[in-house]
Every structure is written in C-alpha cells, then in structure tokens.
Amino acid sequence: MEVRQKAIIQARRPHTTVSMKATLNSARVQSWLQDYCGRAAGVAGGVVMSAADDGGLHTAAEWPAEGSLSPPLIAAATAAVERARPLVIKPSVAARNAGAARVISLPLKSGDRAFGAVALALESNDEEATSRLLKELERACIALAVALGAQPRPGADLDAAQVLHFQNLLLGRSRLGEAATVLASELAAARGFERTSIGLIDGGRIRVLALSHNAEFKSRQELLRSIAAVMEEAVDQAASVCYPADESAPPRIVLAHAELAARAGNALCTVPMACDGKVVGALCFERSGKPPGAQELAGLEHLACLLAPMLVLRQRAEAPWSQRSAEAFKRLGARIAQRDDPWPKLALAAAVAALAAATTLPLAYRVGAPARIEGAVQRIVAAPAEGFLRSAHARPGDVVKAGDLLVELDGQDLLLEKRKWESELTQYENTYGAALARADRAQFVINHAKATEARAQLELVEQRLARTRLTAPIDGMVIKGDLSQSLGAPVQRGEALMTLAPLDQYRLIIEVDERDVADVREGQKGYLALSAMPADSVPFTVERVTPVATSGDGRNGFEVQATLAASGGPLRPGLQGVAKIEVGERTAAWLLGHRIVDWLRLHLWIWGG
C-alpha cells in the first residue's frame, strides 16, 4: 500500500521533474491515448506513465482527463513497471463503482529497461476480450514507445502476426477506401508516424486512397495534390525517398518532398509499392523530427512489399467491368501470343477487327413505324336538318367534282309547307289589293304585312327544300359514308353523311413508338412503303411531331405528320404501310444493343427505386 501511495505521489509531482524530451512528446502521447481509447471497444479509461529524470514515474497522458479512474490506473501501471511484465488486476470498489470491471497494464521496455507503462480500465470482465485487447495493446504500444523516446529494435516491429493483422484490416472491409483508411490509421499508430497516406496508380496517375485518421478527406484537395506529387516523385525514381535525406543516402529528386515538408513541418518518407514486377503505388509516412533510419526504412520497404498485392487485389475487384474486361482481353491476347499455333491468333485478329468495325463504323439509323395516308383537307357533308334519307348518288371510292349530287333527303313535308305558304301569300295579296281599291288604309297595312311574312316563310321553305339535295363541296374522292344500305333511315341535323378528300393533296401520319420519338425531329427525311405497293418507296419530310401520346394495340405512340414528296398517281387516302425516318448514323454495336441497354436501364431504375 505504501508503494502504491508513493507511486501516486511521484506521478502527481510538478512537471519540473519531467524530462525535456517527455515534455516535447506529451502532446503526441495524449493524442495516441485518446485515439486508441476512442477506437477500442469496452475501454472506460486509460493512463500512460513515463520515466522522469529523477528515476520516478510521471503521468504522461490520461483519458478522460482528471478522471476518477486515474489513481487505480496509475497504481496498476507502476506495478507493471516494478514487475516488468503485463498485469491483469481486479480493481478496487471505488474503481468498480466508476465503471471499471478489470484493469490491464503493460510495461514499455527498451531492451531490458522499462521506461514507462500503459494501464487501461475495461468495462467487461470477459477473459477472451481481455486477452484480445492485451495483444492489440502490445502491437499499438510500438508507436507509443517511439513517442516516448525509445527506438524499436530492428525487425522487432514486423513479425508475422502484425503483417497478418494489417492484411486482415485490408480485407475485412467492404470498400477499398474504408479498408485503406483503417490500414493507414493502424500503420501510423503502429509505426509511430503522425500521418500515413496510401496511394495507388489509376489511369497512369497516383490517386490518394486514404489518409490516417481521416475518413472524409476529399475536401482537402490541395493537401491531396501535394501528397500525390510526393508519391509520384518516388514512383518515377522507383526508389524510397526520405526528406531530409541522410548524408550517406544516395541522391534523390526531392522537390515535391521539400514543398510538402515546408508546408506540414514534418519529416517525410515515401516508399513505392511493387506487384508483379511493376510499381503500383506508394506509402507516404510523416512525423516530426527525423525521418526513418536505414533499418527502419528497410522494415517499411518490406511492409510495402507485403501489402502491395492485397491493395492491388482489392483495386482490381472494385474496378468497373469495362476495365476488368479490357485486362482480361489483354491477358488472353498475351497467352495466345505465346502459342505457336497460328489459328488462335487469326481468330483473335478477326474478332478484334469485327469488334472494332462494330464499334467504329457508322451505319444509317432509321426509325420505323406504321403509317397511313390521309387527305391534307377533309370536307364533311352533313345533314342540314332532320329528315329521312331518300337516295345516295355516291359511294366511298367514287371520284366526284364540285357540285355533283351526292345525297338526297326526303322533302315531302317541305313541299306541303311550301304550298301552304304559297296559298297564304296569294290570299294576303288579294286582300290588301281589295283594301287598296276601297281606300281602306288600315286593312291594306295589315294584309300587306301578312303577305310579307308569308313571302319570307316561303323563301325559307324553298331554301330548306334546296338543301335536301347535298352536293360535293370540292373536287375529290369520297373516303367515308356508304349510305346505299341506309335509304329511308332518319338522320339528325348535323350528322356526318359523307367525307371527301382532294386527290392531289395528301398528308402522312406516322405512329412512332414512344421509345423512338426522342430521335425524331422536324425536317428529317424518310421513305414510305405501302402495303398496296411494297416495291415502290415514296419519299417524305417530317413536318410536325405531335406532343401528345396515343394508345392503341397495347402500345403508346406519338403521331408524326409528314409531307409526301409526290401526290396523285396511285396514292389514295386510307392506304397504310411502313415508314422509315432517317435520324442519323450510329455504330453497328449500338444498333444491335441499344434496345437491350434501354430495357435494362429502365428495369434497374424500377427495381432500384
């Protein structure tokens, strides 16, 4: 108990007993402890103890600051230093009340000398979780030892377990960017660097994948460009570059390194990564003070060689399908080129030529759709009044001239009404003539007005009687209205009896499918093949695209109006056929596959929405 109290008193001494080196590194130690405790699951608190100039221990960092867990953690760290081995301690009642179910402490050694310790308070009492966390703490304390001034032994920080741990971090995430960020953060903590960057070559340029302890770094474009320039400088030289460089090191180009070092105030070390005999990326390490020495640089180069295949594998797995297909074709071509048989080479050359032709040679692209011919002007012959159909003098298909009789309506009622008004008109005229002879002015005025009314009614009846004979308003053809089977049938006023269209003025109506209407424009040319004349094609010009869709036969379409270049001849209103509209040029591959691609896009949108 006295030993623990003495350790606590020594740990709480003023900072005048702390060495200058520990004072300079206190910020890094505090940053390490906060980062580690924040990432580790189930950690309630932690302290880092460091050796002072007077031989005692002082608190280099604690988390949370001035917490109630600090005294038992300080005692546990002191005990680990005294016994020179890791300890798992059951905390006191006060510590358990503060949330600590178990305390682990690990001494920090340089050779056989312990120069500090780390103690953590765990929230769980699970033996397996405690053992796992203790192993992770041993790996993470390498960076802490560097921060406290101890140099790791050459090769001691790069064992098989640590490499497997790095590779597990790289393969244990679903996305390459996330995995690279976790790996960079772990590398920075394990190797004692303030910032670690990972970059891979993509399209001939270095692309920075991740920065340590920065999940969202894309907004820092200026920093990313500087780091990419540093990596490209090392990749172009195919050698590791340290700045500032040691006097015994071979000369390197360090312009980008000098610029980034002046900006960040750190020493730099950039190590290229190689896979399959070619450079695939680079690792960039930054820290304050001196860059890595020769032995540490060798360890970093070894680590880069071990991590490069995993990074390339993840990069290839997330590459777009077009890039993977291109690489697969390259590998296939290389294997075929190594064979002595000429036929595979000829087949590959023919396939490449066909593919190149399908993707480069332009072909005419035409939009096809059903079409019909209509009259440019259509005139309707309608019933002028209610009545009965008496006779029809024309049928659909008959060519008529303006004024030809088409339909006659029954006018018996109008004839009787005409005779009635003729009789009344005669009577009124005789009456006002007699009144005029008698000089009876009153009777004359009355009968004269009635005679005028009867004359107007007679004229109206005569006009109605004249309209019972319906004539052709224009020269043309009857295209609708077969009344030969409806003689004697009643008709209503305004009812359409016949439809006429001129013979020399036509328009073409094309029912374009909604999938193709976006390619149709006014002024485009095309050709029409009629069902009645499949061997002949009639040119036309698109005049108007109707912006309203119509439905029919289970499909949606838009009516496109076109003007025929030729009129008359064998053309007749009502003829149907297929129209081809020339909308431009496309490649053969596009012509063959655009329907499938459009269908996939639409259904992927439906399924994804």
Task: List, for residues 522-546, the tens digit of each pLDDT value.
Answer: 889 999 998 888 888 889 999 988 8
SS3 annotation, 53-121:
CCCCEEEEEEECCCCCCHHHHHHHHHHHHHHCCCEEECCCHHHHHCCCCEEEEEEEEECCEEEEEEEEE
What is the residue range of 48's domain?
Answer: 2-147
Number of domains in the chain: 5
Residue 258 domain-assigned (yes or no): yes
Q: Is the pLDDT of residue 4 over 60?
A: no
Q: Which residue has the tokens 């008109």?
A: 425
Across residues 455-467, what is the average pLDDT?
Answer: 83
Residue-wise pLDDT tens digits, 230-263: 999 999 988 899 998 887 778 889 999 999 988 8
**pLDDT, the chain, mean:** 80
Answer with the one of 435, 465, 499 that is the final residue of a domain. 499
Does 493 lie in the same domain as 506? Answer: no
Round to the nearest angstrom and report the end-to-end CA distance of the chain.
67
Q: CB burial class (10 A; 0-12, 13-18, 19+) of residue 134?
A: middle
Does 274 lie in the same domain as 225? Answer: yes
pLDDT of residue 269: 92
pLDDT band at 200 (very low <50, low <70, confident <90, very high): very high
pLDDT of residue 272: 93
Residue 155 domain-assigned (yes or no): no
Classify each residue of 27-64 as buried b or exposed e, where b means 16 or more C-beta atoms within 10 Å of its C-beta.
ebbbebbbbbbeeeeebbbbbbbbbbeeebbbbbbbbe
Residue-wise pLDDT tens digits, 61-108: 888 876 777 788 888 888 888 887 888 888 777 677 777 778 888 888
Q: Which residue has the tokens 């320039």?
A: 229
pLDDT top residue among 315 and 6: 315
Classify each residue of 143-169 as buried b or exposed e, where b means 16 or more C-beta atoms within 10 Å of its C-beta.
bbbbbbbbebeeeebbeeebeebbeeb
Does 121 lie in the same domain as 54? Answer: yes
Does 464 lie in the same domain as 477? Answer: yes
Does 410 lie in the same domain as 343? Answer: no
Q: Please state, for a pLDDT cut of 90, what percent of the chain lies above it.
A: 9
Q: Is the pLDDT of residue 23 over 60?
A: no
User: pTM to 2 decimals?
Assistant: 0.39
Residue 481 domain-assigned (yes or no): yes
435 with 447: CB under 8 angstroms?
A: yes
Q: Max Cα separation, the chain?
A: 161
Answer with the one of 288, 319, 350 that is the final residue of a domain. 319
pLDDT of residue 15: 36
pLDDT of residue 16: 33
Token pair, residue 373, equals 């011919």
In angstroms, the CA 418 to CA 412 distance is 10
Residue 154 domain-assigned (yes or no): no
Across residues 451-460, what is the average pLDDT?
Answer: 86
pLDDT of residue 496: 86
Does 259 lie in the same domain as 247? Answer: yes
Does 509 lie in the same domain as 471? Answer: no
Does 398 lie in the same domain as 475? Answer: yes
In angstroms, the CA 437 to CA 441 distance is 10
Q: Is the pLDDT of residue 186 over 70?
A: yes
Q: Is the pLDDT of residue 8 over 60?
A: no
What CATH number is attached to the domain comprising 557? 2.40.30.170
pLDDT band at 20 (very low <50, low <70, confident <90, very high): very low
pLDDT of residue 156: 43
Residue 553 domain-assigned (yes or no): yes
Does 541 lie in the same domain as 556? Answer: yes
In angstroms, the CA 484 to CA 544 distance is 38
pLDDT of residue 11: 36
Does 165 lie in the same domain as 92? Answer: no
Does 526 lie in the same domain as 394? Answer: no
Residue 399 domain-assigned (yes or no): yes
DSSP structure class, residue 358: H
Does 507 lie in the same domain as 480? Answer: no
CA–CA–CA angle 606, 607, 609 (5° rounding):
65
What CATH number is attached to the domain comprising 447? 2.40.50.100
